[in-house]
Structure 1
Amino acid sequence: MKKWIGIIIVLSVVTAFSQAWYIEAVDTLGNVGQYASLAIDAQNRPHIAYFYADSAFLRYATWNGSTWEMENVDRNTGVGGVGLYASLALGPLTQRPQIAYYDMADGALKWAHLNDLDQWEYGVPFVGLDDVGQGCDIAIGVQGSDEIPHFAFYDVTTDYLLYARPLGAAWSRDTVDTMASDQISIALDPSGSPHIAYYANNGTEGFLKYAHLVSGAWVIDTVDYIAANNLGLYPDIVITSNNIPYINFYDSTTNRFKYARWTGSAWTIDVIDNSPGTGMYGAQILGSTYVSYYDMSNADLKYGYSKTYLSWHNESVDTTGDVGQYTSIALTHKKDLVYPHIAYYDVTNGDLKYATRIIKDVLPTVMVAPPKIVRPDSTYIPAVTVLNQGNTVAACSVTCVIKYQGLDVHHSVRMIDPPLNVDEETQITFDPWTVLGYNDAWYNVTFRTWMADDSVPQNDSLRDSVHATNTGIIEALVPLKLDIAVFGKDVVLSLPNATQGEVYLFDVTGSRRITLESGILSAGEHKYSLDKRALPNGVYFVRFSSPVANLTRKAILVR
């Protein structure tokens, strides 16, 4: 979906909200980066489609895990003039890229998709139409085992908004509205039905419109209109799991970035950023809601988020030169973390740039020792497993504190050295602990990580209890590791101890779809099946949320 509003060259690290942004130039070939469109695959790797203005080619960049790979997708047999209005989406089943774009040389809508042999295939859905394809946007649905592209685009000759999708070996095309423009955004609801937000202008005023398909007919609504004003520019739409549309757009009369949401009976209009000149090239994604946009007054890239849709937090991401046009945003869901990625155009240098939030998060995951039952007057070596689940190399200190009746009876500190790489796990051992001589005594054990600029301080502590007794058989049991895993259509949650919590599923928009279990979860393995759930094929995320840990795993559902 369009979300715009080599050797990696690290340009800067910008601190904001006690965190930082990692910023890099992805492509510096020439004047590149206009019409940037970003998507994140199931491995949390970014893909970007964009326009190479010097040669008028469509280009594509993807991160392979260690560097960026870039290529020309379409050069129109050397004539050029292809790649404007690039819109990228990944197939929900195959994760392969599909791109809708405008062929300026031929005045046509074009479509490129990467096949199973990693070769680009091309199509022109409608041959013979005069100048169609500007403002094109793509969304990919699933029908059985097939991935179906849906396109919304502008017919310059007639001023019409058009919609198309493949229907067998042919193409189906609808005229959605007879008044439109080249500023269009399309999204699919959970049933695969299209919803389109677009800007229209009658020559006197501009306004935001919305169309959705109901029982084969297009229903059109005016979302925001003020007489003699010009608003609704740079629209971007997302649809929640219960079919509720959310649209961000730019009001050029007041120079404000706005947000429209459907309440069930009417449209509510909010302001995302009150700063004058903000909101051009706006893009959003749900999860709660995250937006990226261009600050025209300061020529900066900005970012905002909201958990309530009523109060927004805004910050500048990149302020070096004139940056932030053609912005596109996507999210990574990594275990219990969510963080944004942004692609955008650097006007000053003519580069494609990329920014992501730096997340520092090292947390204790499993108490390895002491065992759950210990002997009085015996000595044990406490140990804990810690994990770096952030997206950057990180070091921290780890403490072990053991209390009896509220008083410290053991305190030990260790430094993690060398720092942990991303997703690296290690075991930390502490000074020996000698149990007091009391029989039938309970001890509280707390392991905690300490790190400057910790992005997720709420998961830094792991607490457990130990029972000292002289009776019964004491075994040094191997603890069950706290984890949640997805095996095809099955989900397995492993709990070393009972806890209050819930297990639920949400989709790529961040909308909750089903709750698998909620309440007091007993120690041991909990198994859930997604096979019989009323869910369409696609990519989902299973989340375990509790006071002791928050874990998220991807699930790709294919029937």
Structure 2
Amino acid sequence: MAILTAALVVGCDDDASRDAGGGTDGAVPDGGAVEVDSGPLPDGAAPDGGGVDAGPGDRPIEAHDVERFPNSFGCCGHEINIVVAADRVPHVMGVRDRSGTRSLWYAARTGGTWTETNVTDDGSLPRPRERNTFALAPDGSPHALFSDGVTLTYAWLDGTWQSMAVDATSSVGDTFRHFDIAVDAGGAPHVVWFDQTLEALRYGRWNGSAFEVETIDAPAVADDQSGEFARLALAADGMVHVSFLAIVSGAPVLRHARGTAGSWTVEDVPGMGKGVHGSMLLDSAGNPHIVSADLRSSRARGIYWSAFDGSAWSETELDADSSIVDADADLDPSDRAHVIISNSFGPAGYLQYLYPRNAGRDIYDVRGAVVGDAPESCDLDLHEGTPHVVNPNAYVTFP
């Protein structure tokens, strides 16, 4: 059958471009400061070393600082991802498009300067389409996962970039990113993906020479499917957690799988969130949290936070109506969800940052020319509670 989300509309309704506080482009309601293109920032920090407070009495965000990416990155609106290392150095990976030729790049920011390497430019690796993701190993080395539209490719940096197909028998599309990667404490990569041929959620673990591959969840009947928007998290005890979208009798269902190779428990997670543009997160106690959008009339709508307390799931509505083009989330040291949302395409588009404050939540609109003209991809990573955000044009921090 055709993938249901292949027809998912990635544009937006009129309400998708709403301003949470009535502000105008480049400005924040209630006298907030306009966007500042601040130039080079200190590694891993806003200019004043600030960030989002993690305790009661949090202050509201009133401005953001932007560092435009070098022109060499050339993302052109394709997917981009960020991981902030333990030393506060941001690492970024994205896809550039030059005259119709796409290539994967990776960069780290040290000493106020982005140092870039080309993952696929020399022609020895498969060409990416748009979708990619990566993780850092304990030694700080990057491990990437990307699709050329058919094959899921794993790439790693060992002096030079090397690659291999995760599973040559799987077919992985490129309409949305339906795959993810994480690296365990021993340096072994784990990957999950939606296999378009089997219409099933697949998992692979590196054994030192190859990926050992198995199916986590497969459709029970024809026309069902399992595994779209697959997201992965590894617990300290070795347990693997995966969130994903399943289609059951034509209806979208959020599912969570936990286990290790050969032994999996899969459950439906109740609520409005359906795993679309989801994030699979683990709190300080190792309990799973999933932040994701609903799927309504082939549109990703709203953002919902599902949390497991050790005995049951509960859900918090973070935003009920936004049309979601992309989203990402992370937990702060107090186990509270922070979310970045991309609301629309084109010059009218902007990012929204949903963050906890006091006993509630605030929404801050990240607008302006630097971040607003290619917002269809966004990514968020928290380092010690401080948010680091990227879209295809810029690196954003909050003073």
Secondary structure of the corresponding residue to residue 137 of structure 2 = strand
Aligned to 1:89: 83
Aligned to 1:248: 243
Aligned to 2:327: 327
**One-letter code of the match for 1:173?**
S
Secondary structure of the corresponding residue to residue 67 of structure 1 = coil
Aligned to 2:344: 347
2:113 to 108, 119, 125: 119
Is the 1:82–1:101 Cα contact (8 Å) retained in structure 2?
no
Secondary structure of the corresponding residue to residue 296 of structure 1 = strand
Normalized per residue, the structure richer in strand is 1
**Deviation at residue 10 of structure 1 after TM alignment:** 8.1
**One-letter code of the match for 1:148?**
S
2:165 to 175, 179, 183: 175
Is the 2:205–2:211 Cα contact (8 Å) retained in structure 1?
yes
CA distance in 2, matches of 1:66, 1:98: 26
Is the 1:248–1:258 Cα contact (8 Å) retained in structure 2?
yes
Secondary structure of the corresponding residue to residue 101 of structure 2 = coil
| Pairing 1:238–2:247 present | no
Alignment of 1:65-464 (within 5 A): 67-76=63-72, 80-92=74-86, 94-104=87-97, 105-114=100-109, 116-126=110-120, 127-128=122-123, 129=125, 131-132=127-128, 134-143=130-139, 147-156=140-149, 159-168=150-159, 170-178=160-168, 179=170, 180-182=172-174, 183-202=178-197, 205-226=198-219, 227-228=221-222, 229-252=224-247, 253-262=250-259, 265-275=262-272, 278-287=274-283, 288-297=287-296, 299-308=301-310, 311-319=312-320, 321-333=321-333, 337-347=334-344, 350-360=349-359
CA distance in 2, matches of 1:328, 1:176: 25
Is the 2:182–2:233 Cα contact (8 Å) retained in structure 1?
yes
CA distance in 2, matches of 1:234, 1:281: 6
Cα deviation digits, residues 100-158 of structure 1 (max 9, x gap): 112234221111221x2211222211221453253211111232xxx2111111123xx
CA distance in 2, matches of 1:208, 1:177: 13
Closer, same or farther in 2 for the Cα pair 1:230/1:74, shift >3 Å?
Answer: farther
Is the 2:326–2:343 Cα contact (8 Å) retained in structure 1?
no
Closer, same or farther in 2 for the Cα pair 1:184/1:285, shift >3 Å?
Answer: same
**Deviation at residue 172 of structure 1 after TM alignment:** 2.3
More relative contact order in 1 or in 2 (CA 8 Å, sep 6+)? 2
Is the 1:293–1:325 Cα contact (8 Å) retained in structure 2?
no
Closer, same or farther in 2 for the Cα pair 1:45/1:153, shift >3 Å?
Answer: farther
Closer, same or farther in 2 for the Cα pair 1:27/1:164, shift >3 Å?
Answer: farther
What's the TM-score, normalizing by structure 2? 0.67
Is the 2:228–2:244 Cα contact (8 Å) retained in structure 1?
yes
Alignment of 1:530-545 (within 5 A): none
Q: Which entry has the higher C-alpha Rg, 1 or 2? A: 1
CA distance in 2, matches of 1:123, 1:152: 16
CA distance in 1, matches of 2:112, 2:75: 24
Cα deviation digits, residues 172-207 of structure 1 (max 9, x gap): 2122112233422111111121111111111xx521
Cα deviation digits, residues 271-298 of structure 1 (max 9, x gap): 12354x8321111210122221111228
Structure 1: gaps (5+ residues)? 13-22, 30-39, 47-64, 361-389, 393-508, 510-538, 542-559
Secondary structure of the corresponding residue to residue 141 of structure 2 = strand
What's the TM-score, normalizing by structure 1? 0.49
Aligned to 1:11: 20
CA distance in 1, matches of 2:33, 2:162: 36
Is the 1:344–1:352 Cα contact (8 Å) retained in structure 2?
yes
**One-letter code of the match for 1:151?**
A
Closer, same or farther in 2 for the Cα pair 1:341/1:102, shift >3 Å?
Answer: same
Is the 1:76–1:82 Cα contact (8 Å) retained in structure 2?
no
**Deviation at residue 350 of structure 1 after TM alignment:** 2.0
Report how many aligned residue pairs link the two structures: 304
Q: Which moved more, 1:337-346 or 1:67-76?
A: 67-76
Considering only aligned residues, what root-mean-square deviation do their CA atoms show, in Å? 3.6
Is the 1:322–1:347 Cα contact (8 Å) retained in structure 2?
no
**One-letter code of the match for 2:358?**
I
